[in-house]
């Protein structure tokens, strides 16, 4: 019996379409899961003929061996401080604290700036609180105070501390959702502020996804400025980040100084359910072995340098180091003279900040864990022209094109950052 060639071709095309659709669903699922959350590798070679070299979003590097992606042009802010109305004589104060690490800080700053601007209040420089009781830093211990105040000049008046005549006990506590809206401020914040005169603000996170919305608001430009234009590391912390990045680049000579940063923290993986869910088997986190296999299958050589956000080495990471011997944690690449303050103290806030900024500046970022760290690192990378964000997956077969695993934040341009930058 003869075989109709057209039917064979149609069957192949249909099968290919379902495979591609399955991979797209997995990447979307990794992002959508954020709404619910605050081995020996087979040798595989990277084949340029199987990869889209320029899909309008990313361009594969031609200067390095492997599936490295070039930086894109750094985006420019869509907002301008000259477009803001002049601030009137401030009345009352808005105080707040930064908590839970830098991935939360950027959102907390944005909400506080939006609220203070709308109320016409003075914003008081926040302190920084860690996860342990009594774990408190001054803002200037981590961030650059002068640059922060200068960035808000003409937008919001900033005071370094509350006046002596105002007691902390006199502040009215107000909670606002992340990405607070003008309507929420009018209905839930302004009446309390008018009644009490001074408030203490706290941001809660009903969702941790950072996808942009179609709805426009008069506070959008202020939120963009607050999130992307205010926070810079103070010189000592910035120096440690720069020294560690330089060390990683030195270790990456064979890949032209390029390295991968992976957000993989063992204590979080142990507390999360990383098993697949739904018909696609998509997961919210991946362990060391799964990350190693993923990186090999998309074409990274075993000589690739990898930085892990895990602070100290854990035996569960050995499978990753077996496949990628140049795998490092902070303790092995931080300069010895810096460890006393930034690694060996009981204050973990410095470690979180270092991870956030290294992941924002690495040549490739792979979030092994879904959540706000992934979302806000993605925003910082998009703004600075570093779209190389790969969402891991369990890849069938021995190899796959790296562009199939770009974060939907980049491939769909649906991150909030794309609303803030042009």
Q: What percent of the chain has pLDDT over 90?
A: 61
- The CATH number that applies at residue 275 is 3.40.50
Of 383, 389, 374, residue with least CA distance to 35 = 374
Residue 177 located in a structural domain: yes
> Quick one: 261 and 203 in the same domain?
no
Q: Of 65 and 404, which is predicted with more confidence?
A: 404
Domain shared by 100 and 220, yes or no: yes
> Do 206 and 248 belong together in one domain?
no
- Considering the domain architecture, whether residues 392 and 277 belong to the same structural domain is answered as yes
SS3 string of the chain? CCCCHHHHHHHHHHHHHHHHHHHHHHHHHHHHHHHHCCCCCCCCCCCHHHCCCECCCCEECCCCCCCCECCCCCCCECCCHHHCCCCCCCCCEEEEEEECCHHHHHHHHHHHHHHHHHHCCEEECCEEECCCCCCEECHHHHECHHHHHHHCCCCCCEECCCCCCCCHHHCEEEEEECCCCHHHHHHHHHHHHHHHCEEEEEEECCCCCCECCCCCCCCHHHHHHHHHCCCCECHHHHHHHHHHHHHHHHCCHHHCCCEEEEECCHHHHHHCCCCCECCCCECCECCHHHHHHHHHHCCCCCCCEEEECCCCCCHHHHHHHHHCCCEECHHHHCCHHHHHHHCCCCCCHHHHHHHHHHHHHCCEEEECECCHHHHHHHHHHHHCCCCCEECCCCCCCCCCCHHHHECHHHHCCCECHHHHEC
**CA 257, CA 305: separation in Å to the nearest integer?**
9
**CA atoms of 147 and 141, how far apart (whole Å):** 14
In a domain, residue 326? The reply is yes
**Is the domain of 260 the same as that of 388?**
yes
336 and 266 together in one domain: yes
Computed from CA positions of residues 267, 312, 291, 72, in that sequence, does the dihedral angle turn out positive or negative?
positive
* Residue 218 shares a structural domain with residue 252: no
pLDDT of residue 71: 86
Residue 54 lies in a domain: no
Both 220 and 256 in one domain: the answer is no
Of 178-192, 258-272, 311-325, where does mean pLDDT reach its minimum?
A: 258-272
Q: What pLDDT was estimated at residue 91?
A: 87
For residue 367, report the phi and psi dihedrals to the nearest 5 degrees.
Answer: -85, 110
First CA to last CA distance, the chain = 60
In terms of residue numbers, what domain contains 185? 93-229
Whether residue 55 lies inside any domain: the answer is no
Kindly state whether residues 310 and 330 are assigned to the same domain: yes
Answer yes or no: do 289 and 163 share one domain. no
Instruction: Report pLDDT digits (tens) over 362-391.
Output: 999 999 999 999 999 999 999 999 999 999
Among 229, 251, 279, the domain boundary falls at 229
- Asked if residue 266 and residue 209 are part of one domain, the reply reads no
Above 60 in pLDDT, residue 33? no
Asked if the structure places residue 34 within a domain, the reply is no
Count of the separate structural domains present in the chain: 2
35 pLDDT more than 80: no
Shared-domain flag, residues 258 and 354: yes
Domain boundary among 212, 229, 246: 229
Greatest C-alpha distance within the chain: 95
> For all residues of the chain together, what is the average pLDDT?
84
Residue 42 lies in a domain: no
- Residue 336, pLDDT > 90, answer yes
Question: Could you tell me if residue 203 is inside a domain?
Answer: yes
pLDDT at 417 over 60: yes
Stated pTM of the model: 0.84
Q: How confident is the model at residue 121 (pLDDT cuts 50, 70, 90)?
A: very high
Give 153-178 pLDDT, tens digit per residue: 999 999 999 999 998 888 999 999 99
Q: What is the pLDDT of residue 3?
A: 47
pLDDT at position 169:
87
Among candidate residues 229, 249, 274, the one where a domain is terminated: 229
CA 181 to chain centre: 22
Give the number of other CB atoms < 10 A from CB of residue 315: 7
Query: Residue 71: phi, psi to the nearest 5?
Result: -65, 150
Provide the pLDDT for residue 287: 93
pLDDT of 216 strictly over 80: no
pLDDT at 112 over 60: yes
pLDDT at 80: 76
* pLDDT tens per residue across span 125-140: 999 998 777 789 999 9
Indicate whether 26 belongs to any domain: no
Is the per-residue pLDDT at 10 higher than 80?
no
- Token readout for 119 is 């109320």
Cβ-based neighbours of 419, under 8 Å, separated by 6 or more: 78, 212, 220, 224
């Amino acid at each position: 019996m003869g075989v109709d060639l057209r039917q064979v071709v149609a069957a192949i095309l249909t099968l290919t379409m379902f495979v591609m659709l399955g991979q797209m669903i997995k990447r979307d699922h990794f992002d959508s899961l954020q709404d619910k959350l605050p081995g020996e590798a087979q040798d595989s070679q990277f084949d340029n003929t199987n990869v889209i070299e320029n899909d309008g979003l990313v361009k594969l590097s031609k200067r390095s061996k492997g599936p490295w992606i070039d930086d894109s042009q750094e985006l420019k802010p869509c907002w301008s401080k000259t477009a803001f109305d002049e601030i009137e004589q401030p009345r009352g104060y808005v105080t707040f604290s930064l908590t839970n690490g830098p991935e939360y800080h950027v959102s907390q700053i944005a909400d506080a700036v939006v609220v203070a601007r709308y109320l016409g209040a003075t914003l008081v420089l926040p302190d920084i609180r860690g996860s342990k009781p009594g774990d408190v830093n001054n803002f200037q211990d981590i961030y650059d105070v002068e640059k922060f105040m200068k960035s808000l000049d003409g937008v919001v008046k900033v005071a370094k501390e509350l006046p002596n005549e105002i007691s902390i006990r006199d502040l009215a506590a107000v909670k606002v959702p992340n990405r607070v809206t003008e309507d929420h401020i009018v209905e839930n914040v302004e009446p309390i502020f008018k009644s009490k005169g001074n408030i203490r603000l706290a941001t809660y996170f009903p969702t941790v996804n950072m996808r942009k919305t179609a709805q426009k608001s008069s506070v959008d430009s202020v939120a963009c400025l607050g999130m992307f234009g205010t926070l810079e590391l103070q010189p000592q912390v910035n120096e440690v980040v720069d020294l560690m990045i330089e060390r990683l680049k030195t270790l990456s000579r064979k890949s032209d100084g390029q390295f991968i940063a992976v957000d993989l923290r063992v204590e979080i993986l142990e507390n999360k359910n990383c098993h697949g869910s739904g018909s696609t088997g998509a997961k919210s986190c991946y362990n060391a072995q799964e990350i190693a296999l993923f990186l090999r299958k998309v074409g990274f050589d075993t000589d690739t340098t990898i930085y892990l956000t895990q602070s100290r080495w854990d035996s569960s990471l050995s499978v990753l180091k077996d496949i990628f011997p140049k795998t490092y944690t902070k303790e092995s690449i931080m300069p010895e003279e810096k460890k006393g303050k930034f690694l060996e103290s009981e204050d973990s806030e410095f470690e979180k900040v270092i991870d956030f900024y290294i992941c924002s500046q690495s040549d490739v970022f792979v979030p092994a864990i879904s959540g706000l760290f992934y979302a806000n690192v993605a925003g910082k990378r998009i703004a600075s022209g570093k779209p190389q964000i790969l969402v891991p997956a369990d890849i069938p077969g021995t190899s796959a094109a790296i562009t199939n695993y770009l974060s939907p934040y980049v491939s769909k341009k649906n991150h909030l950052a794309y609303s803030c930058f042009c």
